[in-house]
C-alpha cells in the first residue's frame, strides 16, 4: 500500500550558539527526518530550521554534496542535515522549506544544494483532502491586536515589526550579501544566540485563546473568509492543538531544540502532534 504521510516540523534553530551540544542536536533532527523519509510523501519545514542562514555573494553552492569542501565554509557545519534533505528529495519526497524569521536569507543556494521547495510567504494548500493554511507565523497580526496591549508590550511588538520589515527589505538583503561571511555570521549568530538565551531562561508560555496572536489571527480569518481545516504554524515554540468553534483547528508545532515536537498527517487527513524522546 502506498503511504501518504505528510510531516511538519519547525524551529529547530540548528547551529544556535546557545546549544550545549550542537552536533547531537543536528543529528537528532537528521534522525527524525530519516524516520520520516520511510513513509513520507512530503515534509514541511515550517521555519527557523536554521538559527541563522545567510547566503553571501562570495559563496558558490554545489548541487552535489559528496565533497564537504565544495560546501561553502559558512554552511559546512550543516553538511549532515543538507545531505539528509538531498537524500529525501532525490528519493522523490517533496521537502518544503518555509522561511522563518531566522532563515529568511536564502537566495537559491539552499534549493540548489538540497532540492527543497522554498516558500517565502504563507500558503493555503489542500493536503490529503484537508485545506491547510501554512505559515511560520511571524508577521501575522490580528486587526486591533496591538492597540489592545499595554504600552510597553506595544513598543516591543512595534520594534519586532520594524526589524522584520528591515530583514525582509530587498535593498538591505542585497547589501548584507556583500559582507564577508565570517563577519555576517558572527553578527547573525550572536543576534540569534541572545534571543535563544533569553528564551531558555524565560520561555514565553501560551497566552490562552483570547490572547495568543496566531489563534486570534486564525479566528479572524475564519470569520472573514473561506473555512480552513488546519492552521499550522511554528514560531511560538509552544505546542498547541486547539479546536476553534468553526471546526477548524489551530496547530502550533512547538520546537525542535527543547520540546522536540513535530506533527504528521495520515492519508485520511488526520493531523496529530507528537514528540521525539
Binding-residue pattern over the window 171 to 190 for Mn ion, x denoting contact by CB under 5 A = --------------------
* Rounded distance between C-alpha atoms, residue 137 and residue 244, angstroms: 18
Q: Of the two residues 11 and 55, which places its CB atom closer to Mn ion in the complex? A: 11
How many residues in the shown chain lie near Mn ion by CB under 5 A?
A: 2
User: Which residue number, 48 or 222, has a Cβ lying nearer to Mn ion?
Assistant: 48
Site for Mn ion contains 48 (CB under 5 A) = yes
- 140 to 159, contacts with Mn ion by CB under 5 A? none
Q: Which stretch binds Mn ion (CB under 5 A): 15-23, 42-50, 110-118, 238-246?
A: 42-50
Rounded Cα distance between 98 and 118, Å, is 6
* Strands, sheet with 94-98, edge to edge from the N-terminal-most edge strand: 117-119, 94-98, 40-45, 5-9, 261-265, 271-275
- Residue 249 grid cell: 483547528
**Nearer residue to Mn ion within complex by CB, 109 or 234:** 234
CB closest to Mn ion, residue no: 48
Whichever of 75 and 237 has its CB closer to Mn ion, that residue is 237
At its nearest, how many Å lie between Mn ion and the CB of residue 210? 23
> Quick one: which segment of 46-54, 73-81, 83-91, 139-147 binds Mn ion (CB under 5 A)?
46-54
Q: Please identify, using beta-carbon distances, which residue of 86 and 193 lies nearer to Mn ion.
A: 193
Which range touches Mn ion (CB under 5 A), out of 45-53, 141-149, 167-175, 204-212? Answer: 45-53
Pairing of strands 5-9, 40-45: parallel
The answer to whether residues 229 and 131 touch, using CB atoms and an 8 Å cutoff, is yes
Q: DSSP string spanning 209-232? A: TTT-HHHHHHHHHHHHSS--SEEE
Q: Which is nearer to Mn ion, 11 or 222 (CB)?
A: 11
Distance CA 24, CA 53 (A): 19
Quote the least distance from Cβ 66 to Mn ion, whole Å.
Answer: 31
Question: Which positions from 2 through 41 interact with Mn ion, judged by CB under 5 A?
Answer: 11
Please answer whether residues 6 and 127 qualify as being in contact, where contact means their C-beta atoms are separated by less than 8 angstroms. Answer: yes
Q: How far is the CB of 82 from Mn ion (least distance, A)?
A: 20
Please say which residue, 61 or 256, places its beta carbon nearer to Mn ion: 256
Minimum distance from residue 156 beta carbon to Mn ion (Å):
16
What gap in Å lies between CA 205 and CA 235, rounded to an integer? Answer: 13
Q: How far apart are CA 10 and CA 250, in angstroms?
A: 15
**DSSP count for the chain of H helices, then E strands:** 7, 11
Q: Give CA–CA dist 253/238, Å, rounded.
A: 7
Kindly list the residues in this chain that would bind Mn ion in the complex (CB under 5 A): 11, 48
Amino acid at each position: 500500500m502506498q503511504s501518504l504521510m505528510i510531516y511538519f516540523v519547525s524551529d529547530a534553530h540548528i547551529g544556535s550558539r546557545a546549544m550545549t551540544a550542537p552536533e547531537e542536536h543536528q543529528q537528532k533532527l537528521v534522525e527524525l527526518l530519516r524516520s520520516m523519509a520511510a513513509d513520507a510523501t512530503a515534509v514541511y519545514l515550517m521555519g527557523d530550521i536554521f538559527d541563522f542562514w545567510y547566503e553571501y555573494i562570495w559563496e558558490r553552492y554545489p548541487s552535489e554534496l559528496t565533497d564537504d569542501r565544495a560546501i561553502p565554509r559558512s554552511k559546512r557545519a550543516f553538511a549532515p542535515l543538507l545531505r539528509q534533505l538531498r537524500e529525501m528529495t532525490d528519493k522523490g519526497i517533496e521537502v518544503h522549506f518555509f522561511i522563518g524569521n531566522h532563515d529568511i536569507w536564502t537566495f537559491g543556494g539552499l534549493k540548489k544544494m538540497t532540492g527543497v521547495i522554498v516558500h517565502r510567504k504563507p500558503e493555503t494548500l489542500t493536503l490529503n483532502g484537508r485545506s491547510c493554511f501554512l505559515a511560520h507565523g511571524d508577521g501575522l497580526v490580528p486587526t486591533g491586536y496591538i492597540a489592545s496591549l499595554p504600552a510597553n508590550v506595544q513598543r516591543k511588538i512595534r520594534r519586532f515589526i520594524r526589524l522584520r520589515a528591515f530583514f525582509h527589505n530587498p535593498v538591505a538583503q542585497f547589501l548584507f550579501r556583500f559582507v564577508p561571511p565570517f563577519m555576517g555570521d558572527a553578527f547573525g549568530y550572536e543576534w540569534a544566540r541572545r534571543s535563544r538565551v533569553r528564551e531558555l531562561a524565560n520561555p514565553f508560555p501560551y497566552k490562552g485563546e483570547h490572547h495568543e496572536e496566531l489563534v486570534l489571527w486564525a479566528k479572524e480569518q475564519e470569520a472573514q473568509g473561506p473555512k480552513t481545516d488546519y492552521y499550522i504554524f511554528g514560531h511560538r515554540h509552544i505546542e498547541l492543538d486547539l479546536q476553534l468553534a468553526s471546526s477548524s483547528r489551530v496547530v502550533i508545532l512547538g520546537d525542535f531544540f527543547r520540546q522536540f515536537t513535530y506533527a504528521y498527517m495520515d492519508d485520511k487527513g488526520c493531523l496529530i502532534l507528537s514528540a521525539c524522546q
